[in-house]
């Protein structure tokens, strides 16, 4: 078959190393081989965020696309507290829709698609409402808008709210400083800038926040982050049958990205984006 060039934010064209890693081996996910594989993936995800092991963050991997990671966070960490979803595009709207299914105390603050978030309005909303959690999208894929996280993280912290972020299309393409932006939980997926097969997602979060999740009543069985964290912490395992071939591919894409160097890769992606912008629109 003729090779297709993909210009979408995800799926993207995969390296031959990643495409072939999927068939690496037949292993049983309840054996030590899978535990080593999951540990290797977690360590590499932390490295992607410039975090060492024991840095106070852990990452759980979920069999399911990016939406699964978003729903795992929104259904597992908020309880019945008040959550404000900030939106300036399709994926912000989706965060709101998911949260509203799980929690009637879901608020929405909307901004026009493709426009920067108005920090004064966000601050005023937080001052005027009893908000415990703030959620937003980093790279709003629908419009190509890269939202700034540091300011919203700081405003959330100043108002005593936990900050959670959908980084599905920015992980692997942008620097994300979880500590500086005071992000408690962040989601991403295997098939956008990480350039692996579709079907896996992950949640990276502060270890103390993961620890607290067991005290909240479960709202879903399959996407319960407390259960994912318990299996990771006690056995380097997943609660249910993982799509093991996809884990081999994700590990390979992380190996390739870390070998290239994250900053080098981010710069090269920016150059490509600039080049495409010029070609399509004659501007940028």
Ligand X SMILES: *Cc1c(COP(=O)(O)O)cnc(C)c1O
Q: Is residue 91 close enough to count as binding ligand X by CB under 6 A?
A: yes
> Applying CB under 6 A, does 190 fall inside the site for ligand X?
no
156 alpha-carbon distance from chain centroid: 19
Nearer to ligand X, 140 or 209 (CB): 140
| Nearest distance in Å: CB 69, ligand X | 8
Give the interface segment with ligand X, choosing from 40-48, 64-72, 108-116, 225-233 (CB under 6 A): 64-72
Q: Residue 119, Cβ neighbours under 10 Å: how many?
A: 13
Stretch that binds ligand X, among 23-31, 45-53, 162-170, 243-251 (CB under 6 A): 162-170
Per rule CB under 6 A, is residue 66 in the interface with ligand X? yes
Residue 71 interacts with ligand X (CB under 6 A)? Answer: no
Binding piece for ligand X, criterion CB under 6 A, among 62-70, 102-110, 147-155, 202-210 = 62-70
Indicate the residue among 162 and 173 with the shorter CB distance to ligand X.
Answer: 173
Question: Which is closer to ligand X, CB of 38 or CB of 137?
Answer: 137
Going by their DSSP bridges, the two strands 200-206 and 57-63 should be labelled as antiparallel
| Residue 65 binding ligand X, by CB under 6 A | yes
d(CA 276, CA 284): 9
**Contact between 169 and ligand X (CB under 6 A)?**
yes
Q: Which is nearer to ligand X, 46 or 186 (CB)?
A: 186
Q: Does 99 bind ligand X (CB under 6 A)?
A: no
Taking the least distance from each CB to ligand X, the nearer of 11 and 245 is 11
Binding to ligand X by residue 153, rule CB under 6 A?
no
Count the residues of the shown chain that bind ligand X, applying the rule CB under 6 A.
Answer: 11
Q: Which range, of 14-22, 25-33, 96-104, 166-174, touches ligand X by CB under 6 A?
A: 166-174
Q: Does 141 bind ligand X (CB under 6 A)?
A: yes
d(CA 51, CA 173): 16
172 binds ligand X (CB under 6 A): no
Q: Footprint of ligand X on this chain (CB under 6 A)?
A: 10, 65-67, 91, 137, 141, 166, 168-169, 189
């Amino acid at each position: 078959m003729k090779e297709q060039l993909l210009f979408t934010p995800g799926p993207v064209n995969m390296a031959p190393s990643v495409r072939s890693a999927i068939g690496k081996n037949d292993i049983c996910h309840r054996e030590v081989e899978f535990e080593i594989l999951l540990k290797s993936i977690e360590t590499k995800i932390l490295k992607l965020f410039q975090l060492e092991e024991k840095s106070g963050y852990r990452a759980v991997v979920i069999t399911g696309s990016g939406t699964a990671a978003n729903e795992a966070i929104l259904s597992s960490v908020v309880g019945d507290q008040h959550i404000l979803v900030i939106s300036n595009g399709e994926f912000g709207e989706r965060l709101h829709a998911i949260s509203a299914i799980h929690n009637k105390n879901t608020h929405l603050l909307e901004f026009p698609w493709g426009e920067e978030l108005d920090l004064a309005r966000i601050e005023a909303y937080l001052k005027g409402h009893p908000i415990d959690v703030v959620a937003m999208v980093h790279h709003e894929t629908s419009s190509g808008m890269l939202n700034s996280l540091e300011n919203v993280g700081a405003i959330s912290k100043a108002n005593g709210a936990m900050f959670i972020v959908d980084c599905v299309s920015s992980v692997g393409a942008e620097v994300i400083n979880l500590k500086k932006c005071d992000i408690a939980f962040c989601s991403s997926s295997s098939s956008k800038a990480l350039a692996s097969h579709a079907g896996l997602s992950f949640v990276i979060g502060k270890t103390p926040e993961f620890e607290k999740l067991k005290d909240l009543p479960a709202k879903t069985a399959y996407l319960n982050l407390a259960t994912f964290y318990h299996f990771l912490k006690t056995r380097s395992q997943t609660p249910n049958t993982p799509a093991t071939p996809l884990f081999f591919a994700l590990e390979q894409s992380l190996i390739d990205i870390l070998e290239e160097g994250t900053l080098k890769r981010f710069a090269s992606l920016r150059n490509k984006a600039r080049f495409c912008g010029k070609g399509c629109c004659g501007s940028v």
